[in-house]
C-alpha cells in the first residue's frame, strides 16, 4: 500500500484565511472603538448645548440674573458665576450691565468646558427699557 502524501498548500491556505480573519477583526474592533468615542463626545456636546440654551432662556426671562444664578446653584468665583454639573462639565457665566439713557443692556456669556476643553460658548443679551429697569 502506498501512503498518501498531502500537499502543504491546504495548510498554507488555512493559515492565510485565519490571518485575514484576524486582521479584519482587529480593524473592525478599532472602528467600533472610534465610533463609541465619537458617540460619547457627541452626547457630551449635545448635553452642553442643551444646558447652555436652558440657562440662556432662564437668564433671559429673569429680571434679576444674580438671584437666578444663586437659585440655580452657581457660586461667584473670580468675577464669574460657576457651577460644576453632575456630568463633570463646568458651566461659567459672566455678566455685564451697560447703562444707557433709555434703560440698560445686560450681556451674559455662558461657557461650558470639560477638563479645560471649551465645548460651548453662548452669548445672551437682554435689553431693559428705562421704566422696567427702575
* Per-residue pLDDT tens digits for 14-69: 999 999 999 999 999 999 999 999 999 999 999 999 999 999 999 999 888 899 99
DSSP 101: S
With respect to residue 56, please indicate whether it lies within any of the assigned structural domains. Answer: yes
Percent with pLDDT over 90 in the chain: 62
With respect to residue 4, please indicate whether it lies within any of the assigned structural domains. Answer: no
Tally the domains of the chain: 1
With respect to residue 2, please indicate whether it lies within any of the assigned structural domains. Answer: no
The dihedrals phi and psi of 16, each to the nearest 5 degrees, come to: -65, -40
With respect to residue 1, please indicate whether it lies within any of the assigned structural domains. Answer: no
Among 100, 99, 65, CA closest to 80: 65
pLDDT for 82 equals 94
With respect to residue 3, please indicate whether it lies within any of the assigned structural domains. Answer: no
With respect to residue 38, please indicate whether it lies within any of the assigned structural domains. Answer: yes
Q: Which domain holds residue 92?
A: 9-133
Amino acid at each position: 500500500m502506498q501512503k498518501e502524501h498531502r500537499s502543504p498548500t491546504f495548510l498554507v491556505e488555512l493559515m492565510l484565511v485565519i490571518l485575514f480573519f484576524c486582521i479584519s477583526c482587529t480593524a473592525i474592533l478599532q472602528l467600533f472603538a472610534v465610533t463609541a468615542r465619537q458617540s460619547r463626545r457627541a452626547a457630551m456636546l449635545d448635553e452642553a448645548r442643551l444646558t447652555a440654551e436652558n440657562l440662556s432662556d432662564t437668564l433671559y426671562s429673569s429680571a434679576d440674573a444674580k438671584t437666578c444664578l444663586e437659585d440655580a446653584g452657581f457660586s461667584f468665583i473670580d468675577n464669574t458665576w460657576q457651577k460644576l454639573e453632575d456630568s463633570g462639565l463646568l458651566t461659567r457665566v459672566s455678566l455685564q450691565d451697560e447703562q444707557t439713557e433709555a434703560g440698560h443692556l445686560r450681556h451674559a456669556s455662558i461657557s461650558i468646558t470639560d477638563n479645560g476643553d471649551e465645548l460651548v460658548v453662548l452669548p445672551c443679551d437682554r435689553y431693559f427699557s428705562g421704566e422696567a429697569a427702575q
